[in-house]
Structure 1
Amino acid sequence: MADTSQYKVGIVLSVEEKKGGGKPLKVCSVNIGDEGNPITVVTAASNVRQGSRLVVAPIGSTVINDEGEELTITKTTVGGIPSEGMFCDSRMLGWGSGSEGIAAQVPVEFAVGDAPPKSKPGVPKQTSEETVPAVEVKGLFEKKLTKEEKKKLAEERRKAKKAAKEASAKGEES
């Protein structure tokens, strides 16, 4: 695994899309904490947007390529545009999970210029059930009701509404 201590948390200041012969490229201006001197990173990662907080391997740092070889990041030209670093994916950082070629994002708790976390940031573990309010979350692919089920629900609602109306009418008479 590459020495990730050289990597930095960066925030994407701007993104300019370039379409060319192969994959569309994004030319990004990235603040990595160097006193107002943003670097340019050219990438094909689909999840890079303005305001993204990502892990950057700046010039001089090393990464492990797909063949397992260590490569030192140098100023290079990608698609005819000078690039001064690269965005790291979860595999490069040794986080274990995550898609290859997708830039590793970090939460706002990590300041620009800081070293990235040693493990993939996740949902914080709760110490007790009382700290999280109970909320019913409906599934994204919940079963849809049939016409018959919808009619039955509507009829039950009408009956309940009629019963409530009759109960309030009796209350007013007495």
Structure 2
Amino acid sequence: MKALLVYAHPNLKSFNHAVLEAVKEEFAAAGVAFDVRDLYALSMDPVLKAEDFLAIREGKPLADVAEEQRFVKEADLLVVIHPVWWFSLPAILKGWIDRVFSAGFAYAYGKNGPEGLLKGKKVAIFSTTGGSEKDYDTYGFKGAIRTAVDNGIFGFCGMEVILHHFMHAVPAVSQEEREAMLVQVRHLVREQLLSA
């Protein structure tokens, strides 16, 4: 198995970065090959532009997009680590998806409708929130995010989301609670991702 870790947080001292480090350590300990794409560290422009559409139409993605598509193509498992901002993905992550998961690479429209072209690939998502689990459940935010992201992006492209784990109220909980969250992340990696 080869994994691709897509990380979207600007602060290297954030809890999201601690999640990334935990996942990396578990994969390394298990001998799993992986690449990390730190979206804030990349020089890639996440803004979808007119030239992207022209390149897609010609079947020749721009060089920076082709590079990211190569990472996706080589991976069996995509691990996405991100904060939830405004009940959605950070703009940089959404922009990366907009450009990389393009028509002809991630999906195509045939006579029977849309077809996902990334079949056989699995996805695990680790999302941190500022809001409490109670609020997310009460107002349906988790369900909305899963519908939009798990089904609307990855499922649409033929990928199987095997895990979407939310860690709630991260800025408000104690350090001990954050440490417990990291223990759970490590457990999920060992129990669900390494056997994927």
Normalised to the residue count of structure 2, the TM-score between the two structures is 0.21
Report which of the two has the higher share of helix: 2
Give the number of the structure whose alpha-carbon radius of gyration is greater.
1
Q: Which has the higher contact order (CA 8 A, sep 6+)?
A: 2
